[in-house]
Amino acid sequence: MTTSGTTQLDNPLLDFSGLPRFAAIRTEHIAPAADALLAENRALIEKLTLKDTLATWEAFVTPLESANERLGRAWGAVSHLHGVLDSPELREAYNANQPKIVQYYTELGQNLALFEKYKALAASKEFATLSLAQKKVLENEIRDFRLSGAELPDAQKKRLAELHEELAALGTKFSENVLDATNAFSLYVEDHAELAGIPEDVLETARNAAEKDGKPGWKLTLQAPCYYPVMQYADNRALREKLYYASTTRASEFGPADRDNGPLIMRMLEKRRESAQLLGYKSYAEVSLVAKMADTPKQVLDFLDDLAKRAKPFAERDWKELQAFAAKELGLAKVEAWDAGWASEKLRQQRYAFSDQEVKQYFPEPKVLDGLFRLVSTLYKVSFEPEAAETWDPAVRFYRILDAAGAVIGRFYLDLYARETKRGGAWMDEVITRRKLRDTVQVPVAYLICNFSAPVGNRPALFTHDEVLTLFHEFGHGLHHLLTRVDQLGVSGIRGVEWDAVELPSQFMENFCWEWEVLEHMTSHVDTAKPLPRELFDKMIAAKNFQAGMGTVRQLEFSIFDMQLHHDFDPAEKKTPLDLLEEVRDRVAVMRPPSYNRFANSFSHLFAGSSYAAGYYSYKWAEVLSADAYAMFEENRSVATGVLDAATGARFRDEILGVGGSRPAIESFKAFRGREPSVDALLRHNGMIPA
């Protein structure tokens, strides 16, 4: 189908009657859909800003929300495909149309006439009759108009719009560079002896990849299902160093200049700083925190520094133990960055007498999914059923969620396996958000995306326990979106939730992966079908906080670097982001990477878009909330149900998952917990204070 022959009726991106029609979407649909929706929305806005359009919810807010939802759903499908099914053609179409979308939302946020309508509604008699959720929507809109520069002079509005467009393009280019640099590396190994220690299922996948390329031997890549097992298990130190160097120099000056993210980072920092100062703030971090639970960068840095002081003694102990073990047992006079994962695995096996690979055999994908669904069903009185739907890859599955009465309350896509066309990591995103329509309620739909190893031959995919944690984490995000009871689009599900609280439901779910009453129902040895032995589970629990100190300070290193980078770092001065990162490491880190390490160049959380920019601390901030919330399940543990207390689960759904962004996150937490959050549960869960 050509662009010129595409009509709205032909274009699947303009069909909002149901789920996205992935099998029908083509690159030539993107520009016509974007142009049509943008034209419709601008015409509507012109009408809504007329003096005779009443500043009421039904006459003004509802039609604007509906128009923006259509645009969001269409562009959301395009953005999703760009992330999971990238191709040169799709990338070109995405990059050609993204500036139009960014420009529209910038115009929207700077439209003073719209802003005045929202303020008029907030000041009207109708405001008192609105629901709490509607009032929160208005409060957020007024805040966001100010943050978008609606009150700025025209010249500054224009400059802010330019900055937003440039930042969006830079973020996309950053992400593409990381993906391209990841895919550009491959190492073919013909001598099996060089691969000693690497698990057999990883080698089988590598052998199949080499055969697909018409090469002998095994193909090693930087994709997570290959890279991490090599770094953890390969006895060949030179091989580990080679992959480590390739991974940590991705998208840097050590590769092709057109894939170097270093200059992009500096440009993004300059433009973020300028945009913040246009709005009257000192730094981008100050702007970022306006819509978060934390109030100031200093409050965040104090929180992180306090955690660092508590965690660093444990990290130093972990590091000394690892060095001593490596010298005595492994013959390593010095533990380098490419040795740490391997040496740690050897120490863990010696200390606790099990390996991740041994545990992995008990987590075949079908059993894990059954156990996950069983857990959620027990806590929240819902059930799951597979359902047919168009998808972007044959391996993607689709499910519906039903309440106790059998009514469908949500649906989700599950895309578990790594592909070369798919960006790394794991994430949840919304497809459709719950909202009240005239005669019904729109059912929410989510994407749940991971990058695990695919099944090999007739055997199911096997997950490490860390991968099970990842799956539960993303499912927690999904439940936040899918189990909402809020009907107002702007605060339904994860919408309107402060970013430093949005990880609460996801990190909360990870805790269940350490409970026997959960794992005993979601394990089955791939060969013998026997459940996970209690003895092996007890070893896992004993090893749960293995090197927790090192893991904590590593996360704090990233968080402090991010906050300082976006608050008191000046891109115009001589200091570089790498210099700043080294200063942070001086204070926090116990293991130092080699000088060539360019971690920031693939730190997509901060630079591939801006969701976590000046917000990476959210993981630790929300972990305090999630650990304390989970502690209530521990306190209500019983002989009959263990931690799977349905009454506590119902309360968690009612006060956390169900309310979405309709009230401040701290109010939701206190409504569930009955008090302010405490850091004690987090420290206890990490073995830093006595249980």
CA distances from 559 to 43, 110, 175, 606, 623 (A): 43, 31, 20, 10, 13
Residues linked to residue 411 through DSSP beta bridges, in sequence order: 400, 445
CA distance 164 to 145: 14
Q: How many Cα atoms occupy the beta-carbon half-sphere of 285 within 13 Å? A: 25
Coil, helix or strand at residue 566: coil
Write out the H or E segment, with its range, that includes residue 631. Answer: helix 618-635
> How many Cβ atoms from other residues are within 10 Å of residue 454's Cβ?
14
Residues linked to residue 462 through DSSP beta bridges, in sequence order: 364
Contact at 8 Å (CB) between 434 and 425? no
Q: Quick one: tokens of 673? A: 């917990």
397-415 as b/e, with b when 16 or more CB fall inside 10 Å?
bbbbbeeeeeeebbbbbbb
CA distance 417 to 454: 5
Contact at 8 Å (CB) between 350 and 587? no
Coil, helix or strand at residue 428: strand
Q: Quick one: tokens of 46? A: 């012109």
Q: Quick one: tokens of 305? A: 């520094």
Residues 6+ apart with CB under 8 A from 470: 426, 450
- Reported in sequence order, the residue ranges of 403-517 that DSSP labels E, i.e. its strands, are 408-417, 427-432, 435-436, 441-442, 445-452
Residues linked to residue 447 through DSSP beta bridges, in sequence order: 413, 429
CA distance 473 to 430: 16
Report the C-alpha dihedral over residues 286, 290, 294, 296, rounded to 10 degrees: 30
469-496 as b/e, with b when 16 or more CB fall inside 10 Å?
bbbbbbbbbbbbbbbbbbbbbbbbbbbb
Altogether, the residues listed in the chain come to a count of: 691
CA distance 209 to 221: 10
Contact at 8 Å (CB) between 278 and 160? yes
Residue 316 sits at φ, ψ, to 5 deg, of: -65, -40
Residues linked to residue 429 through DSSP beta bridges, in sequence order: 447
Name the DSSP class of 531: P
Contact at 8 Å (CB) between 15 and 80? no
Handedness of CA 192, 198, 199, 205 (dihedral sign): negative
Contact at 8 Å (CB) between 172 and 122? no
User: How far is Cα of residue 131 from the mean position of the Cα atoms in its chain?
Assistant: 31
Is 162 marked active-site? no
Residues linked to residue 456 through DSSP beta bridges, in sequence order: 459
Catalytic annotation, pick one of 286, 467, 474, 634: 474
Q: Quick one: tokens of 430? A: 């919304």
Name the DSSP class of 638: B
> How many Cβ atoms from other residues are within 10 Å of residue 91's Cβ?
16
Catalytic residue numbers, as ranges:
474
